[in-house]
Chains A and B, each alone.
Chain A
Amino acid sequence: MSNNLNLKLRIWRQDGPDAPGAFLDIEADDISRDASFLEMLDTVNERLLGDDIEPVNFPHDCREGICGTCGVVINGQAHGPEKATATCQLHMRKFRDGDEITIEPWRARSFPVIKDLVVDRSPLDRIIEAGGYITAPTGSAPDANDIPVPKDVAEASMDAAACIGCGACVAACPNSAAQLFTAAKLAHLNVLPQGQPERWKRTEAMVETMEEYFGTCTNHGECHEACPKEISLDFIAFMNRDYIKAKIKNRSLASQAR
């Protein structure tokens, strides 16, 4: 097929967290423009297998841009060149014949490489466990319409809740900071009426857990640029404001009454 692409790939290979890594150079010829980026990797893996080379391990699952499992650095950009697009939704028609494509895992100290392009992002789960929830034991909820939520508040909450937890924000950040991820969860819950009772406790716990694992935000904005869901930087400002308030409010029980 003359319309197909011939590409030069440089793919990062690494056996384990402590093993040295290196790029594998591969000529990937005859790649369809309609293939997704991960389908291109599938094709490459089939060919590697044919040559008795162990296929490249890469993170992926839903391939619909929603599970947040996938994500590699493509030519230096987390999730690659297309804006607001997770790796699995990137298609090869965005590349040109003859392109050289460098493919690396997320690069961040908090995300050690497990193997090849797969990294360990579990510190993100630790942040959620620290307070990224509303305590509502099963069965104890009031009727859903007992708590009206103004439409614009629900929309703002949803804007933040759209985060897929892929970790591209951390990978794109020069400081490996997780502010955008943390702020998105905080804003999702803190703007809602249901989120108020635990608001200040949640904020302090999540921010401080984040700081245990990740670097510090210096407002580069790279996280937003890389984010497949275009989570707004405004949420980081919101989080910083809530964190300062939380430090005061959490000092005494009485101040919880606001």
Chain B
Amino acid sequence: MISLDSKVPAGPLADKWDNHRFSIKLVNPANKRKYDIIVVGTGLAGASAAASLAELGYNVKVFTFHDSPRRAHSIAAQGGINAAKNYRNDGDSIHRLFYDTVKGGDYRSREANVYRLSQVSVEIIDQCAAQGVPFAREYGGLLANRSFGGAQVSRTFYARGQTGQQLLLGAYQALAAQIATGKVTLYNRSDVLDIVTKDGEACGVVVRDMLTGQVSAHSGHAVVLASGGYGNVYYLSTNAMNSNVTAAWRAHRRGAAFANPCYTQIHPTCIPASDEFQSKLTLMSESLRNDGRIWVPRDLDETRPAGGIPEAERYYYLEDKYPAFGNLVPRDVASRNAKTVVDEGHGVGALKNGVYLDLSDTLANEGVETVRERYGNLFDMYERITGEDPYRVPMRIYPAVHYGMGGLWVDYNLMTNVPGLYAIGEANFSDHGANRLGASALMQGLADGYFVLPYTIGDYLAPRLGTKPVPTDDPVFTNGITEVDDRTRHWLAVKGTRSADHYHRELGKILWDYCGMTRDKAGLERALSEIPAIRDEFRKDVKVLGTADGLNQSLENVNRVDDFMELAELAARDALHREESCGAHFRVESQTEEGEALRDDENFSYVAAWEWKGPDIPQELNKEPLTFENIKLSQRSYK
């Protein structure tokens, strides 16, 4: 068993963060330069953390497998970023954002973390505006907002449909400034393939230079993982092709508990798959749900084009079932309802695998120009991908894997159970419970990187003043290098018959079918028997050509698929053990009479943190109980 001390500070909710900042240890400004910190990943969390730590005076080494830090997948986030600014005078507050986030997460997140997130959300907007993020403005020059699923206030800040891009460029530019000063050393095209610990504490990483193939060790006083989410375990997802779980998974294998891997968000508004060769799914920002109406034809044999179907023969299923929230219900609810109507045979498109997202009312009432200004880039993207003009025919959408609420277990300081190893952004499990609200991922990534980690890491570092990082010729590093080298060479030696992608696709199908939008005991047990079988076959039969001594994208990929194979099994095991429904995790056996997710607070109000026990040995379950002192648990209702 491992110790899961959440280190949540005592005191009233609203004072916890303040009290904690006062009580934790600080590193004096002149001493910060005596510490080396390793940051893995340059998305919103990693870039903002690396830049902020360097501004404080720490020496930072930052690693990315991309050619430039600016490419990280945060860049693809479209819709916006939440903050409790209450600029709209519509009743928002820190407490309301906190409440919405805990409720949206179906009461499976830690109250104190979420409250802190809501508190610092306000500072994030200030920080980003000061950096020159070109947020949307009103005519008077003040910031504009829009509303988003799961909320009844307008608290989302945005930069057209490219909010993630602009926020990431802000963080990347802050990072670039620190690279120029020499406080940050950037290692681009560097794949972090192992996390190194000594005497139970994190001390560095093992990295493969993707251009030369050389494997080397890097040492530091602390290691921060900002390596993103694991959605690509499903093969088809909205994640970028190279997004992977490897750094987090290797940390798990070195002792860090992996929490709630079954909580995977299936985003309701993506472009449906068109064929077998499909490499990824593309998200259409759910901000479209503000102005769009979602419907399917009532008649299962409908053949008319959307525009020819009269109002009475359309089934606006979200508006019918959830009059209060309508098309703005949270993501998990929207996704499951889409699956239900498509499974019933109402689906639209050639493969009958989508539902309509129809903006024709808005186009008629507010005009094409208004819609173009709001969603022009999304409409263009839709047309490029599908060949259909969304200004004339309604878009077709269907849910797709999007975000992992689960991740490495962290305490209030964002430290994993391995001392000195931190996880921030999507790589940790902390703030979204069993379902994340729209426009909250950007908020959490930047909260962790700009405003939480730079404070909390000092508490760990301060007592280590005067210590040197473990030298890289220590056996923990040299053994780590040997292991990574052996693993790399192993793949080239298998000389099997099929590509890693082939096996990845097969794995994804199993997970999507049995551990997707709905799960049941029989299906999950089946997944648990099929996944190890396919993993064994993959390891014996995968085919990788080329060498290890230079750029080899197939070789990079095979390591990642191998780690996904192990994660997939854990996700299925986690889903099987959690015999309740909550948020994105919908167990068919546990639903209300109306078909909504039915929680079992008595038995499952905890974080499931899984502990690595060795290859081919099932992980051990550790539980961090969740207690709610400030919010009354209730059955979520968006009616």
Partner-B contacts on A (CB < 8 A): 15-16, 32, 34-36, 38-39, 42-43, 45-46, 49, 52-55, 57-69, 82, 84-85, 89-91, 93, 114-115, 118, 120-122, 124-125, 128-130, 132-145, 147-151, 154-155, 157-158, 161-162, 164-165, 188-189, 192, 194-195
Contact = CB atoms under 8 A, between A and B. Distances in A.
Contact of A137 (B55, B128, B283, B499): B55
Given A55-B554, A60-B241, A195-B132, A151 B177 contact: no
Interface string B409-452: 00000000000000000000000000000000000000000110
B166 A69 contact: no
A141 B68 contact: no
B553 A55 contact: yes
Contacts of A90: 384
- Summarize A's interface: helix, strand, loop or mixed: loop
B384 A85 contact: yes
Contacts of B68: 121-122, 124-125, 165
A191 to B, nearest CB: 9
Nearest to B499: A49
Contacts of B230: none
Q: Which 6 pairs of residues, A with B, have the shortest CB-CB distance?
A: A148-B141, A133-B173, A141-B130, A144-B129, A136-B130, A141-B126
B240 A67 contact: yes
Contact of A151 (B55, B141, B240): B141
B89 interface: no
A135 B545 contact: no
B242 A61 contact: yes
The CB with the most chain B CB atoms within 10 A, among A35, A85, A133, is that of A133
Contacts of B625: none
Contact of B66 (A49, A61, A144, A192): A61
B546 A149 contact: no
Q: How large is the interface on B (under 10, 10 to 19, 20 to 34, 35 or more residues)?
A: 35 or more
Contacts of A140: 130
B101 interface: no
Contact of A118 (B141, B551, B554): B551
A68 B143 contact: no
A62 B77 CA distance: 11
B522 interface: no
7 contacts: A15-B550, A61-B241, A62-B71, A64-B283, A144-B135, A148-B137, A158-B160
Contacts, number: 213
B456 interface: no
B51 to A, nearest CB: 7
Contacts of B499: 45-46, 49
B191 to A, nearest CB: 14
B603 interface: no
Contact of A42 (B174, B384, B501): B501
The CB with the most chain A CB atoms within 10 A, among B188, B241, B450, is that of B241
B142 to A, nearest CB: 5
Nearest to A93: B387
B162 interface: yes
A145 B275 contact: no
Nearest to A62: B240
A36 B483 CA distance: 38
A223 B384 CA distance: 21
A61 to B, nearest CB: 4
B219 interface: no
A208 to B, nearest CB: 14
Interface in B606-624: none
Given A55-B545, A139-B123, A194-B131, A122 B552 contact: no
B126 A157 contact: no
Nearest to B161: A66
Contacts of B70: 68, 125, 165
A150 B138 CA distance: 8
Contacts of B73: 61-62, 67
B165 A66 contact: yes
Contact of A142 (B126, B142, B279, B551): B126
B369 to A, nearest CB: 14
B239 to A, nearest CB: 9
A179 to B, nearest CB: 19
B381 A194 contact: no
B501 A46 contact: yes
A65 B381 contact: yes
A46 B498 CA distance: 9
A133 B181 CA distance: 13
A152 B546 CA distance: 52
B459 to A, nearest CB: 18
Contacts of A124: 68
Given A136-B174, A138-B450, A151-B141, 17 more contacts: A34-B387, A42-B279, A57-B551, A61-B240, A62-B71, A62-B76, A91-B384, A91-B385, A115-B550, A121-B68, A133-B177, A141-B129, A144-B128, A144-B143, A145-B87, A147-B130, A158-B160
Contacts of B381: 64-65, 89
B174 A63 contact: no
Nearest to B557: A55
Contacts of B160: 158, 162
Contacts of A62: 71, 73, 75-76, 240-241
Given A34-B275, A36-B279, A138-B51, A66 B141 contact: no
The CB with the most chain A CB atoms within 10 A, among B127, B160, B384, B554, is that of B384
B598 interface: no
Interface string B166-209: 10010011101101100000001000000000000000000000
A81 B550 CA distance: 32
A42 B132 contact: no
Nearest to B133: A161
The CB with the most chain B CB atoms within 10 A, among A46, A66, A93, A158, is that of A66
Interface in B313-362: none
Contacts of B127: 136, 138-139, 141
B179 A129 contact: yes
